[in-house]
Amino acid sequence: MTSVGEIRLALEQSCELLRDAYRSVREAQAALDEAVDVLAQASTTHHESLVPAGFVKAGERFADELDLIVRSLDLVQRLAVEL
């Protein structure tokens, strides 16, 4: 049988992993934004954009992913408090 203490520890670890995931997604977002800026500037001397369409689509999804992480973290924290 699992104790309440073990469950709390697992929830705390989950929270830390979610925080790490949030930071990683933010870093990825910043890196992608920087890459898009560099490619967009380089595109000014070309007849077509050098920014891959996939980069734009990925950039649009970051907000949803960050929101999902935040909502998940909130739920895990609430569960931990209720124990």
Instruction: State how many domains the chain has.
Output: 1
- Contact yes or no for 80/19 (Cβ under 8 A): no
The two tokens of residue 67 are 């929101």
Instruction: Provide, rounded to the nearest whole percent, the portion of the chain with pLDDT above 70.
Output: 99
User: Domain limits at 37?
Assistant: 4-82
pLDDT digits (tens, 9 = 90+) for 48-75: 999 999 998 999 999 999 999 999 999 9
Per-residue CA distances from 70 to 18, 52, 66, 73 (Å): 8, 29, 6, 5
Model confidence band, residue 1 (pLDDT cutoffs 50, 70, 90) = low
Please name the helix (run of DSSP H) or strand (run of DSSP E) that holds residue 12, with its range, or none: helix 4-43
**pTM, 2 dp:** 0.84
